[in-house]
Amino acid sequence: MNTETVLNLPLTELIRSATNRKTFTPQAMQEISDSIREKGVLQPIVVRPIESIEDEPTRAAAMAAGAKYEIVMGERRYRGSKLAGKTDIKAVVRAMNDHDALMVQVIENAQREDPQPIEEAEQYNGLLTSGKATIEELAAKIGKTRTFIYQRISLLRLPDKAKTALRAGKLALPVALLIARIPNPAVAEYATSRILKGDCHGNPFSNHEAHRIILQECMTQLKDAPFDAKDKTLVPQAGVCASCPKRTGNEKELFADVGRADVCTDPICFRMKRDATRSRLLDKAKADGKRVLSPGESAKLYPYQHGQLEYNAPYIELSKPCTFAPKKTWAQVIAKLPKDERPEIVVALDKSGEIHELIGRKEAGEAARTLNLAQPSETRGDLSPSAIAQRKQMRDSREKHERTIRAVDLVITAVLEKQSKAKDEGKMFSRLLLMLATKSAHFDTARRVAKRFGFTTPKKDGDVRAFYNKKAKEAATHPLAFALVSLLWENSLFVDNGLPSAITEACKIYGIDLKKIEAAAKEKPEIAEVQESPEPPVKVVNRLTQKPRQLVPAKK
Protein backbone atom coordinates (compact mmCIF):
# COMPACT_ATOMS: atom_id res chain seq x y z
CA MET A 1 0.00 0.00 0.00
CA ASN A 2 1.37 3.36 -1.01
CA THR A 3 2.12 5.89 1.76
CA GLU A 4 1.25 9.54 1.27
CA THR A 5 2.55 12.80 2.78
CA VAL A 6 1.17 16.32 2.16
CA LEU A 7 3.91 18.97 1.98
CA ASN A 8 4.45 22.51 0.72
CA LEU A 9 7.20 21.95 -1.83
CA PRO A 10 9.36 24.63 -3.53
CA LEU A 11 8.62 24.81 -7.25
CA THR A 12 12.34 24.54 -7.92
CA GLU A 13 12.37 20.99 -6.51
CA LEU A 14 9.74 19.78 -8.96
CA ILE A 15 10.24 18.42 -12.49
CA ARG A 16 7.57 17.75 -15.09
CA SER A 17 6.76 14.20 -16.13
CA ALA A 18 7.56 13.17 -19.69
CA THR A 19 4.30 11.20 -19.83
CA ASN A 20 2.01 13.89 -18.45
CA ARG A 21 -0.11 16.46 -20.25
CA LYS A 22 1.88 18.94 -22.38
CA THR A 23 -0.62 20.98 -24.39
CA PHE A 24 -2.38 23.95 -22.78
CA THR A 25 -4.03 26.98 -24.35
CA PRO A 26 -2.73 30.41 -23.26
CA GLN A 27 -6.25 31.49 -22.31
CA ALA A 28 -6.74 28.48 -20.00
CA MET A 29 -3.35 29.02 -18.35
CA GLN A 30 -4.13 32.68 -17.74
CA GLU A 31 -7.44 31.79 -16.11
CA ILE A 32 -5.89 29.26 -13.70
CA SER A 33 -3.03 31.67 -12.95
CA ASP A 34 -5.49 34.40 -11.97
CA SER A 35 -7.42 31.92 -9.80
CA ILE A 36 -4.26 30.77 -7.99
CA ARG A 37 -3.10 34.34 -7.47
CA GLU A 38 -6.45 35.15 -5.83
CA LYS A 39 -7.36 31.94 -3.98
CA GLY A 40 -4.23 29.76 -4.06
CA VAL A 41 -4.11 26.08 -5.06
CA LEU A 42 -7.31 24.50 -3.72
CA GLN A 43 -6.38 20.87 -4.49
CA PRO A 44 -2.85 19.58 -3.94
CA ILE A 45 -0.92 18.17 -6.85
CA VAL A 46 0.43 14.59 -6.74
CA VAL A 47 4.17 13.99 -6.99
CA ARG A 48 6.56 11.09 -6.48
CA PRO A 49 10.15 11.06 -5.24
CA ILE A 50 12.83 11.01 -7.91
CA GLU A 51 14.07 7.71 -6.44
CA SER A 52 10.75 6.09 -7.54
CA ILE A 53 11.56 6.62 -11.21
CA GLU A 54 12.58 3.23 -12.66
CA ASP A 55 13.84 4.48 -15.99
CA GLU A 56 17.53 5.12 -15.37
CA PRO A 57 18.13 7.92 -17.96
CA THR A 58 15.01 9.80 -16.80
CA ARG A 59 16.01 9.53 -13.14
CA ALA A 60 19.59 10.64 -13.84
CA ALA A 61 18.40 13.66 -15.86
CA ALA A 62 16.01 14.74 -13.06
CA MET A 63 18.70 14.48 -10.40
CA ALA A 64 21.14 16.41 -12.55
CA ALA A 65 18.55 19.21 -12.80
CA GLY A 66 18.40 19.41 -9.00
CA ALA A 67 14.83 18.11 -8.76
CA LYS A 68 13.63 15.98 -5.86
CA TYR A 69 10.09 15.15 -7.08
CA GLU A 70 8.38 14.37 -10.38
CA ILE A 71 4.86 15.69 -11.00
CA VAL A 72 2.39 12.84 -11.53
CA MET A 73 -0.88 14.87 -11.52
CA GLY A 74 -1.35 18.64 -11.50
CA GLU A 75 0.70 19.91 -14.45
CA ARG A 76 -1.73 22.82 -15.03
CA ARG A 77 -1.69 23.84 -11.35
CA TYR A 78 2.11 23.72 -11.36
CA ARG A 79 2.35 25.94 -14.44
CA GLY A 80 -0.36 28.27 -13.12
CA SER A 81 1.54 28.73 -9.86
CA LYS A 82 4.70 29.69 -11.72
CA LEU A 83 2.76 32.23 -13.80
CA ALA A 84 1.17 33.64 -10.62
CA GLY A 85 4.64 34.18 -9.11
CA LYS A 86 4.29 31.57 -6.39
CA THR A 87 7.40 29.91 -4.99
CA ASP A 88 5.86 26.76 -3.51
CA ILE A 89 2.83 24.52 -3.94
CA LYS A 90 0.89 22.07 -1.78
CA ALA A 91 1.58 18.51 -2.95
CA VAL A 92 0.77 14.93 -2.03
CA VAL A 93 3.98 12.90 -2.06
CA ARG A 94 3.32 9.29 -3.03
CA ALA A 95 5.84 6.57 -3.87
CA MET A 96 4.89 5.09 -7.26
CA ASN A 97 6.73 3.07 -9.86
CA ASP A 98 6.61 4.03 -13.55
CA HIS A 99 3.62 1.82 -14.34
CA ASP A 100 1.52 3.10 -11.42
CA ALA A 101 2.38 6.72 -12.18
CA LEU A 102 1.40 6.34 -15.82
CA MET A 103 -1.85 4.55 -14.93
CA VAL A 104 -2.80 7.40 -12.58
CA GLN A 105 -2.11 9.92 -15.36
CA VAL A 106 -4.17 7.93 -17.84
CA ILE A 107 -7.14 7.69 -15.48
CA GLU A 108 -6.98 11.41 -14.68
CA ASN A 109 -6.71 12.25 -18.36
CA ALA A 110 -9.75 10.09 -19.21
CA GLN A 111 -11.84 11.97 -16.62
CA ARG A 112 -11.17 15.36 -18.18
CA GLU A 113 -13.63 16.85 -20.67
CA ASP A 114 -11.07 17.89 -23.26
CA PRO A 115 -8.10 15.51 -23.22
CA GLN A 116 -5.52 16.04 -25.95
CA PRO A 117 -5.81 13.01 -28.30
CA ILE A 118 -2.09 12.68 -29.07
CA GLU A 119 -1.20 12.76 -25.38
CA GLU A 120 -3.87 10.15 -24.69
CA ALA A 121 -2.38 7.97 -27.41
CA GLU A 122 1.12 8.31 -25.95
CA GLN A 123 -0.08 7.33 -22.48
CA TYR A 124 -2.09 4.32 -23.70
CA ASN A 125 0.78 3.14 -25.84
CA GLY A 126 3.25 3.51 -22.95
CA LEU A 127 1.14 1.36 -20.68
CA LEU A 128 0.56 -1.37 -23.27
CA THR A 129 4.17 -1.54 -24.49
CA SER A 130 5.45 -1.79 -20.89
CA GLY A 131 3.90 -5.23 -20.74
CA LYS A 132 2.40 -4.55 -17.32
CA ALA A 133 -1.14 -3.96 -18.56
CA THR A 134 -3.34 -5.56 -21.21
CA ILE A 135 -5.77 -3.65 -23.36
CA GLU A 136 -8.67 -5.29 -21.52
CA GLU A 137 -7.31 -4.08 -18.14
CA LEU A 138 -6.70 -0.59 -19.52
CA ALA A 139 -10.21 -0.42 -21.01
CA ALA A 140 -11.73 -1.44 -17.68
CA LYS A 141 -9.66 1.10 -15.72
CA ILE A 142 -10.59 4.13 -17.87
CA GLY A 143 -14.10 3.00 -18.87
CA LYS A 144 -13.39 2.94 -22.63
CA THR A 145 -13.80 0.29 -25.33
CA ARG A 146 -10.99 -1.63 -26.99
CA THR A 147 -11.84 0.07 -30.30
CA PHE A 148 -11.49 3.50 -28.70
CA ILE A 149 -8.03 2.64 -27.36
CA TYR A 150 -6.86 1.12 -30.67
CA GLN A 151 -8.02 4.18 -32.57
CA ARG A 152 -6.32 6.58 -30.13
CA ILE A 153 -3.02 4.69 -30.39
CA SER A 154 -3.27 4.81 -34.19
CA LEU A 155 -2.88 8.61 -33.95
CA LEU A 156 0.80 8.04 -33.21
CA ARG A 157 1.20 6.92 -36.83
CA LEU A 158 0.03 10.29 -38.15
CA PRO A 159 2.49 12.34 -40.23
CA ASP A 160 4.03 15.24 -38.30
CA LYS A 161 2.01 17.68 -40.38
CA ALA A 162 -1.22 15.98 -39.32
CA LYS A 163 -0.19 15.89 -35.63
CA THR A 164 0.59 19.60 -35.68
CA ALA A 165 -2.73 20.38 -37.38
CA LEU A 166 -4.61 18.23 -34.85
CA ARG A 167 -3.01 19.98 -31.89
CA ALA A 168 -3.72 23.38 -33.44
CA GLY A 169 -7.38 22.51 -34.09
CA LYS A 170 -6.97 22.70 -37.89
CA LEU A 171 -7.64 18.99 -38.33
CA ALA A 172 -10.75 17.46 -36.77
CA LEU A 173 -10.21 14.38 -34.64
CA PRO A 174 -12.53 12.11 -36.76
CA VAL A 175 -10.58 13.06 -39.89
CA ALA A 176 -7.25 12.54 -38.11
CA LEU A 177 -8.41 9.05 -37.11
CA LEU A 178 -9.16 8.32 -40.77
CA ILE A 179 -5.67 9.38 -41.85
CA ALA A 180 -4.06 7.52 -38.96
CA ARG A 181 -5.42 4.21 -40.26
CA ILE A 182 -3.52 4.53 -43.55
CA PRO A 183 -0.55 2.16 -43.14
CA ASN A 184 1.66 3.55 -45.91
CA PRO A 185 3.43 6.77 -44.77
CA ALA A 186 3.56 8.21 -48.30
CA VAL A 187 -0.20 7.71 -48.76
CA ALA A 188 -0.86 9.20 -45.31
CA GLU A 189 1.21 12.27 -46.26
CA TYR A 190 -0.80 12.61 -49.48
CA ALA A 191 -4.13 12.30 -47.63
CA THR A 192 -3.04 14.91 -45.05
CA SER A 193 -2.02 17.44 -47.72
CA ARG A 194 -5.15 16.74 -49.77
CA ILE A 195 -7.50 17.28 -46.83
CA LEU A 196 -5.71 20.27 -45.29
CA LYS A 197 -5.69 21.99 -48.69
CA GLY A 198 -9.49 21.88 -48.82
CA ASP A 199 -11.69 22.29 -51.87
CA CYS A 200 -11.03 24.47 -54.92
CA HIS A 201 -12.12 27.54 -52.93
CA GLY A 202 -9.83 26.78 -50.01
CA ASN A 203 -12.69 25.75 -47.72
CA PRO A 204 -11.92 22.82 -45.38
CA PHE A 205 -13.56 19.50 -46.13
CA SER A 206 -16.31 18.24 -43.85
CA ASN A 207 -15.80 14.96 -42.01
CA HIS A 208 -18.08 13.23 -44.53
CA GLU A 209 -16.14 14.60 -47.52
CA ALA A 210 -12.78 13.69 -45.97
CA HIS A 211 -14.09 10.18 -45.29
CA ARG A 212 -15.17 9.87 -48.94
CA ILE A 213 -11.78 11.09 -50.23
CA ILE A 214 -9.87 8.57 -48.12
CA LEU A 215 -12.15 5.67 -49.06
CA GLN A 216 -12.03 6.50 -52.78
CA GLU A 217 -8.41 7.62 -53.18
CA CYS A 218 -6.55 5.74 -50.45
CA MET A 219 -8.41 2.41 -50.25
CA THR A 220 -9.36 -0.23 -52.83
CA GLN A 221 -11.77 -3.13 -52.71
CA LEU A 222 -9.91 -6.38 -53.24
CA LYS A 223 -12.84 -7.93 -55.09
CA ASP A 224 -12.02 -5.52 -57.96
CA ALA A 225 -8.32 -6.43 -57.94
CA PRO A 226 -6.96 -7.38 -61.39
CA PHE A 227 -4.61 -9.88 -59.76
CA ASP A 228 -4.78 -13.09 -57.76
CA ALA A 229 -4.92 -12.02 -54.10
CA LYS A 230 -3.70 -15.47 -53.05
CA ASP A 231 -0.55 -15.43 -55.21
CA LYS A 232 2.50 -15.43 -52.90
CA THR A 233 4.98 -14.95 -55.75
CA LEU A 234 3.39 -11.84 -57.27
CA VAL A 235 5.14 -9.43 -54.86
CA PRO A 236 6.98 -11.73 -52.43
CA GLN A 237 7.66 -9.06 -49.79
CA ALA A 238 3.95 -8.18 -49.63
CA GLY A 239 2.67 -11.71 -49.13
CA VAL A 240 -0.97 -12.70 -49.70
CA CYS A 241 -3.80 -10.26 -49.17
CA ALA A 242 -5.92 -12.55 -47.01
CA SER A 243 -3.56 -12.38 -44.03
CA CYS A 244 -2.18 -8.88 -44.66
CA PRO A 245 -2.59 -6.49 -41.70
CA LYS A 246 -3.41 -3.74 -44.21
CA ARG A 247 -6.66 -5.52 -45.05
CA THR A 248 -9.58 -4.03 -43.11
CA GLY A 249 -10.93 -7.45 -42.13
CA ASN A 250 -7.71 -8.17 -40.27
CA GLU A 251 -7.94 -4.95 -38.20
CA LYS A 252 -11.63 -4.97 -37.27
CA GLU A 253 -11.13 -2.85 -34.16
CA LEU A 254 -9.49 -0.12 -36.21
CA PHE A 255 -11.74 -0.21 -39.29
CA ALA A 256 -15.11 -0.80 -37.64
CA ASP A 257 -16.74 2.07 -39.58
CA VAL A 258 -15.58 0.99 -43.06
CA GLY A 259 -18.24 -1.70 -43.19
CA ARG A 260 -16.31 -3.99 -45.56
CA ALA A 261 -13.71 -6.57 -44.60
CA ASP A 262 -12.11 -7.04 -48.03
CA VAL A 263 -10.62 -3.56 -48.49
CA CYS A 264 -6.92 -2.84 -49.06
CA THR A 265 -5.71 0.25 -47.19
CA ASP A 266 -2.36 0.46 -49.01
CA PRO A 267 -2.92 1.62 -52.61
CA ILE A 268 0.84 1.62 -53.32
CA CYS A 269 1.10 -2.10 -52.51
CA PHE A 270 -2.08 -2.67 -54.52
CA ARG A 271 -0.54 -0.92 -57.55
CA MET A 272 2.67 -2.94 -57.18
CA LYS A 273 0.67 -6.17 -57.45
CA ARG A 274 -1.38 -4.80 -60.31
CA ASP A 275 1.76 -3.76 -62.22
CA ALA A 276 3.39 -7.13 -61.60
CA THR A 277 0.29 -8.86 -62.97
CA ARG A 278 0.28 -6.55 -65.99
CA SER A 279 3.92 -7.37 -66.75
CA ARG A 280 3.12 -11.07 -66.60
CA LEU A 281 0.16 -10.69 -68.95
CA LEU A 282 2.14 -8.63 -71.46
CA ASP A 283 4.94 -11.18 -71.47
CA LYS A 284 2.42 -13.96 -72.02
CA ALA A 285 0.75 -11.97 -74.84
CA LYS A 286 4.08 -11.63 -76.64
CA ALA A 287 4.80 -15.31 -76.13
CA ASP A 288 1.39 -16.16 -77.67
CA GLY A 289 2.22 -14.13 -80.78
CA LYS A 290 0.03 -11.15 -79.99
CA ARG A 291 1.29 -7.72 -81.01
CA VAL A 292 1.73 -5.32 -78.06
CA LEU A 293 1.21 -1.71 -79.07
CA SER A 294 3.68 0.97 -78.05
CA PRO A 295 2.69 3.52 -75.37
CA GLY A 296 2.16 6.14 -78.09
CA GLU A 297 -0.12 3.85 -80.11
CA SER A 298 -2.07 2.91 -77.00
CA ALA A 299 -2.49 6.56 -76.00
CA LYS A 300 -4.12 7.32 -79.37
CA LEU A 301 -6.59 4.47 -78.93
CA TYR A 302 -7.34 5.29 -75.26
CA PRO A 303 -7.03 9.07 -74.85
CA TYR A 304 -9.39 9.30 -71.86
CA GLN A 305 -9.02 8.41 -68.18
CA HIS A 306 -12.09 6.18 -68.08
CA GLY A 307 -10.55 3.59 -70.39
CA GLN A 308 -12.99 4.11 -73.25
CA LEU A 309 -11.78 3.15 -76.73
CA GLU A 310 -11.61 6.09 -79.16
CA TYR A 311 -14.85 6.29 -81.15
CA ASN A 312 -13.18 6.27 -84.57
CA ALA A 313 -10.53 3.70 -83.64
CA PRO A 314 -9.87 1.03 -86.30
CA TYR A 315 -10.18 -1.68 -83.63
CA ILE A 316 -12.85 -3.29 -81.50
CA GLU A 317 -12.39 -4.91 -78.07
CA LEU A 318 -12.57 -8.68 -77.86
CA SER A 319 -14.31 -8.50 -74.48
CA LYS A 320 -17.27 -6.52 -75.89
CA PRO A 321 -20.48 -8.23 -77.09
CA CYS A 322 -20.49 -9.10 -80.77
CA THR A 323 -22.90 -6.84 -82.64
CA PHE A 324 -24.17 -9.71 -84.77
CA ALA A 325 -24.40 -12.20 -81.89
CA PRO A 326 -25.17 -10.09 -78.77
CA LYS A 327 -25.09 -13.06 -76.39
CA LYS A 328 -21.44 -13.75 -77.26
CA THR A 329 -18.28 -11.65 -77.13
CA TRP A 330 -16.06 -11.06 -80.11
CA ALA A 331 -13.51 -13.37 -78.50
CA GLN A 332 -16.07 -16.20 -78.44
CA VAL A 333 -17.06 -15.50 -82.05
CA ILE A 334 -13.57 -15.54 -83.59
CA ALA A 335 -12.74 -18.67 -81.55
CA LYS A 336 -15.07 -20.55 -83.94
CA LEU A 337 -12.76 -19.80 -86.84
CA PRO A 338 -9.84 -22.08 -87.68
CA LYS A 339 -6.67 -20.86 -85.99
CA ASP A 340 -5.01 -19.91 -89.26
CA GLU A 341 -8.06 -17.80 -90.25
CA ARG A 342 -8.42 -15.85 -87.01
CA PRO A 343 -7.63 -12.11 -87.14
CA GLU A 344 -4.48 -10.77 -85.49
CA ILE A 345 -4.92 -9.84 -81.83
CA VAL A 346 -3.21 -6.67 -80.60
CA VAL A 347 -2.78 -5.61 -76.97
CA ALA A 348 -3.04 -2.01 -75.71
CA LEU A 349 -2.85 -0.29 -72.32
CA ASP A 350 -5.23 2.52 -71.35
CA LYS A 351 -4.29 5.47 -69.14
CA SER A 352 -5.10 3.58 -65.94
CA GLY A 353 -2.88 0.67 -66.98
CA GLU A 354 -5.66 -1.76 -67.83
CA ILE A 355 -4.92 -4.27 -70.62
CA HIS A 356 -7.23 -4.49 -73.64
CA GLU A 357 -7.15 -7.11 -76.40
CA LEU A 358 -8.31 -5.81 -79.80
CA ILE A 359 -8.91 -6.90 -83.39
CA GLY A 360 -9.27 -4.70 -86.46
CA ARG A 361 -12.77 -3.58 -87.45
CA LYS A 362 -12.26 -4.75 -91.02
CA GLU A 363 -11.07 -8.18 -89.85
CA ALA A 364 -14.01 -8.42 -87.43
CA GLY A 365 -16.42 -7.79 -90.29
CA GLU A 366 -14.75 -10.45 -92.42
CA ALA A 367 -15.01 -12.92 -89.53
CA ALA A 368 -18.74 -12.17 -89.12
CA ARG A 369 -19.34 -12.73 -92.85
CA THR A 370 -17.29 -15.94 -92.85
CA LEU A 371 -19.40 -17.32 -90.00
CA ASN A 372 -22.63 -16.17 -91.76
CA LEU A 373 -23.48 -13.83 -88.91
CA ALA A 374 -23.80 -10.73 -91.06
CA GLN A 375 -24.39 -9.51 -94.61
CA PRO A 376 -21.69 -7.57 -96.50
CA SER A 377 -23.67 -4.32 -96.19
CA GLU A 378 -23.79 -4.70 -92.41
CA THR A 379 -20.03 -4.99 -91.97
CA ARG A 380 -19.01 -1.75 -93.58
CA GLY A 381 -17.73 1.18 -91.56
CA ASP A 382 -18.61 1.47 -87.90
CA LEU A 383 -19.46 -1.87 -86.28
CA SER A 384 -20.99 -0.43 -83.14
CA PRO A 385 -24.49 -1.75 -82.29
CA SER A 386 -26.09 1.68 -82.80
CA ALA A 387 -24.48 2.19 -86.22
CA ILE A 388 -25.45 -1.28 -87.43
CA ALA A 389 -29.00 -0.88 -86.12
CA GLN A 390 -29.29 2.43 -87.95
CA ARG A 391 -28.03 0.91 -91.20
CA LYS A 392 -30.43 -2.01 -90.80
CA GLN A 393 -33.35 0.36 -90.16
CA MET A 394 -32.47 2.40 -93.26
CA ARG A 395 -32.19 -0.78 -95.36
CA ASP A 396 -35.52 -2.11 -94.07
CA SER A 397 -37.19 1.24 -94.75
CA ARG A 398 -35.77 1.36 -98.27
CA GLU A 399 -36.84 -2.21 -99.01
CA LYS A 400 -40.34 -1.55 -97.68
CA HIS A 401 -40.63 1.57 -99.87
CA GLU A 402 -39.53 -0.40 -102.93
CA ARG A 403 -42.02 -3.18 -102.17
CA THR A 404 -44.81 -0.62 -101.81
CA ILE A 405 -43.94 1.04 -105.14
CA ARG A 406 -43.91 -2.33 -106.89
CA ALA A 407 -47.29 -3.18 -105.36
CA VAL A 408 -48.80 0.18 -106.46
CA ASP A 409 -47.52 -0.37 -110.01
CA LEU A 410 -49.07 -3.83 -110.10
CA VAL A 411 -52.40 -2.49 -108.80
CA ILE A 412 -52.46 0.25 -111.45
CA THR A 413 -51.78 -2.36 -114.15
CA ALA A 414 -54.65 -4.48 -112.84
CA VAL A 415 -57.01 -1.46 -112.63
CA LEU A 416 -56.29 -0.49 -116.22
CA GLU A 417 -56.85 -4.06 -117.33
CA LYS A 418 -60.17 -4.28 -115.46
CA GLN A 419 -61.21 -0.86 -116.75
CA SER A 420 -60.60 -1.91 -120.36
CA LYS A 421 -62.77 -5.02 -119.91
CA ALA A 422 -65.58 -3.45 -117.85
CA LYS A 423 -69.06 -3.44 -119.35
CA ASP A 424 -70.06 -0.19 -117.66
CA GLU A 425 -66.73 1.51 -118.17
CA GLY A 426 -67.91 5.02 -117.20
CA LYS A 427 -69.49 3.96 -113.88
CA MET A 428 -66.37 2.21 -112.57
CA PHE A 429 -64.20 5.09 -113.71
CA SER A 430 -66.48 7.60 -111.99
CA ARG A 431 -66.42 5.65 -108.70
CA LEU A 432 -62.62 5.45 -108.79
CA LEU A 433 -62.35 9.14 -109.56
CA LEU A 434 -64.66 9.99 -106.66
CA MET A 435 -62.63 7.85 -104.25
CA LEU A 436 -59.37 9.49 -105.32
CA ALA A 437 -60.88 12.96 -105.00
CA THR A 438 -62.18 12.39 -101.48
CA LYS A 439 -58.93 10.73 -100.34
CA SER A 440 -56.81 13.66 -101.53
CA ALA A 441 -59.08 16.42 -100.22
CA HIS A 442 -57.63 18.51 -97.40
CA PHE A 443 -59.84 19.95 -94.66
CA ASP A 444 -60.24 23.34 -96.38
CA THR A 445 -61.36 21.56 -99.54
CA ALA A 446 -63.86 19.49 -97.56
CA ARG A 447 -65.18 22.63 -95.87
CA ARG A 448 -65.70 24.45 -99.18
CA VAL A 449 -67.38 21.46 -100.83
CA ALA A 450 -69.56 20.80 -97.77
CA LYS A 451 -70.70 24.42 -97.82
CA ARG A 452 -71.68 24.13 -101.47
CA PHE A 453 -73.73 21.01 -100.71
CA GLY A 454 -75.63 22.57 -97.81
CA PHE A 455 -73.40 22.48 -94.71
CA THR A 456 -73.83 26.11 -93.51
CA THR A 457 -73.15 26.02 -89.78
CA PRO A 458 -69.78 24.31 -89.18
CA LYS A 459 -69.10 23.81 -85.47
CA LYS A 460 -66.30 21.27 -85.32
CA ASP A 461 -63.75 19.94 -87.76
CA GLY A 462 -65.15 16.46 -87.34
CA ASP A 463 -68.63 17.68 -88.24
CA VAL A 464 -67.37 19.13 -91.49
CA ARG A 465 -65.46 15.98 -92.47
CA ALA A 466 -68.42 13.73 -91.50
CA PHE A 467 -70.83 15.80 -93.62
CA TYR A 468 -68.38 15.77 -96.55
CA ASN A 469 -67.98 11.97 -96.42
CA LYS A 470 -71.74 11.52 -96.14
CA LYS A 471 -72.34 13.62 -99.25
CA ALA A 472 -69.62 11.68 -101.08
CA LYS A 473 -71.43 8.40 -100.37
CA GLU A 474 -74.77 9.90 -101.44
CA ALA A 475 -73.11 11.01 -104.68
CA ALA A 476 -72.18 7.44 -105.60
CA THR A 477 -75.03 7.36 -108.15
CA HIS A 478 -73.68 10.50 -109.84
CA PRO A 479 -70.06 10.65 -108.66
CA LEU A 480 -68.47 12.74 -111.38
CA ALA A 481 -69.98 16.06 -110.24
CA PHE A 482 -68.89 15.62 -106.60
CA ALA A 483 -65.43 14.46 -107.66
CA LEU A 484 -65.12 17.36 -110.07
CA VAL A 485 -66.02 19.93 -107.40
CA SER A 486 -63.57 18.37 -104.90
CA LEU A 487 -60.68 18.27 -107.36
CA LEU A 488 -61.26 21.82 -108.57
CA TRP A 489 -61.28 23.13 -105.00
CA GLU A 490 -58.26 20.98 -104.05
CA ASN A 491 -56.25 22.56 -106.86
CA SER A 492 -57.53 26.08 -106.22
CA LEU A 493 -56.74 26.64 -102.53
CA PHE A 494 -53.68 28.51 -101.24
CA VAL A 495 -53.25 30.48 -104.47
CA ASP A 496 -52.44 34.19 -104.12
CA ASN A 497 -51.57 35.31 -107.68
CA GLY A 498 -54.73 35.14 -109.78
CA LEU A 499 -56.79 32.14 -110.78
CA PRO A 500 -55.11 28.76 -110.52
CA SER A 501 -54.16 26.87 -113.64
CA ALA A 502 -56.72 24.13 -112.89
CA ILE A 503 -59.56 26.67 -113.21
CA THR A 504 -58.23 28.25 -116.37
CA GLU A 505 -57.74 24.85 -117.99
CA ALA A 506 -61.28 23.81 -117.00
CA CYS A 507 -62.66 26.95 -118.64
CA LYS A 508 -60.84 26.09 -121.87
CA ILE A 509 -62.10 22.51 -121.84
CA TYR A 510 -65.72 23.50 -121.26
CA GLY A 511 -65.66 26.70 -123.38
CA ILE A 512 -66.45 29.01 -120.47
CA ASP A 513 -65.92 32.77 -120.91
CA LEU A 514 -63.36 33.44 -118.19
CA LYS A 515 -63.58 37.25 -118.51
CA LYS A 516 -67.30 37.21 -117.65
CA ILE A 517 -66.54 35.03 -114.63
CA GLU A 518 -63.86 37.42 -113.42
CA ALA A 519 -66.19 40.42 -113.95
CA ALA A 520 -68.99 38.73 -112.01
CA ALA A 521 -66.57 37.93 -109.21
CA LYS A 522 -65.83 41.66 -108.79
CA GLU A 523 -69.48 42.44 -108.00
CA LYS A 524 -70.66 42.08 -104.41
CA PRO A 525 -73.19 39.28 -103.96
CA GLU A 526 -76.76 40.23 -103.11
CA ILE A 527 -77.96 39.50 -99.56
CA ALA A 528 -80.25 36.51 -99.71
CA GLU A 529 -83.65 36.72 -98.12
CA VAL A 530 -83.77 35.10 -94.72
CA GLN A 531 -86.79 32.96 -94.05
CA GLU A 532 -88.52 33.53 -90.73
CA SER A 533 -87.90 30.84 -88.22
CA PRO A 534 -90.95 29.00 -86.91
CA GLU A 535 -89.34 29.14 -83.48
CA PRO A 536 -90.16 32.11 -81.18
CA PRO A 537 -87.74 35.03 -81.34
CA VAL A 538 -84.78 34.90 -78.97
CA LYS A 539 -84.76 37.47 -76.18
CA VAL A 540 -81.49 39.19 -75.40
CA VAL A 541 -80.53 42.18 -73.28
CA ASN A 542 -79.25 45.42 -74.81
CA ARG A 543 -75.87 46.05 -73.19
CA LEU A 544 -76.33 49.84 -73.25
CA THR A 545 -79.93 50.20 -72.02
CA GLN A 546 -80.11 46.92 -70.05
CA LYS A 547 -83.60 46.51 -71.59
CA PRO A 548 -84.73 43.32 -73.25
CA ARG A 549 -85.17 43.34 -77.00
CA GLN A 550 -86.18 40.77 -79.59
CA LEU A 551 -84.16 39.56 -82.56
CA VAL A 552 -86.45 39.75 -85.61
CA PRO A 553 -85.32 38.29 -88.97
CA ALA A 554 -84.46 41.03 -91.44
CA LYS A 555 -86.79 41.62 -94.34
CA LYS A 556 -85.67 42.51 -97.79
Position 207 in a domain: no
Residues 373, 376, 381, 385, CA torsion sign: negative
pLDDT at 310 over 90: no
Judge contact between 282 and 346, C-beta under 8 A: no
Position 410 in a domain: no
Residue 515 CB contacts under 8 Å (≥ 6 apart), including other chains: none
Same domain, 169 and 106: yes
Same domain, 191 and 329: no
Show the beta-strand stretches assigned E in 4-140: 4-10, 14-15, 45-49, 69-73, 88-94
Give the closest residue to 235 by CA, choosing from 189, 201, 208, 270.
Answer: 270
- Interval 46-88: pLDDT, tens: 999 999 888 888 889 889 888 999 999 888 889 999 899 989 9
Same domain, 77 and 193: yes
Name the 3-class secondary structure at 73. strand
pLDDT at 249 over 80: yes
Name the 3-class secondary structure at 130. coil
Position 41 in a domain: yes
Q: Count structural domains, the chain.
A: 4
Same domain, 50 and 123: yes
Position 85 in a domain: yes
**Residue 301 parent element (H or E):** helix 295-301
Same domain, 69 and 138: yes
Rounded CA-CA distance 210/194 in Å is: 9
- Interval 334-372: pLDDT, tens: 999 998 889 999 999 888 788 899 999 888 888 988 998
Q: What one-letter code names the amino acid at 244?
A: C
Q: Which domain holds residue 341?
A: 289-383
Same domain, 116 and 184: yes
Rounded CA-CA distance 266/103 in Å is: 34
Helices (H), 384-542: 385-421, 425-440, 443-452, 461-474, 479-490, 501-510, 514-522
Per DSSP, 355 falls in state E
Rounded CA-CA distance 179/265 in Å is: 11
Judge contact between 91 and 69, C-beta under 8 A: yes
Return the higher-pLDDT residue of 348 and 527. Answer: 348
Same domain, 293 and 230: no
Same domain, 108 and 251: no
Position 412 in a domain: no
Judge contact between 323 and 385, C-beta under 8 A: yes
> What local confidence, expressed as pLDDT, does residue 541 receive?
43
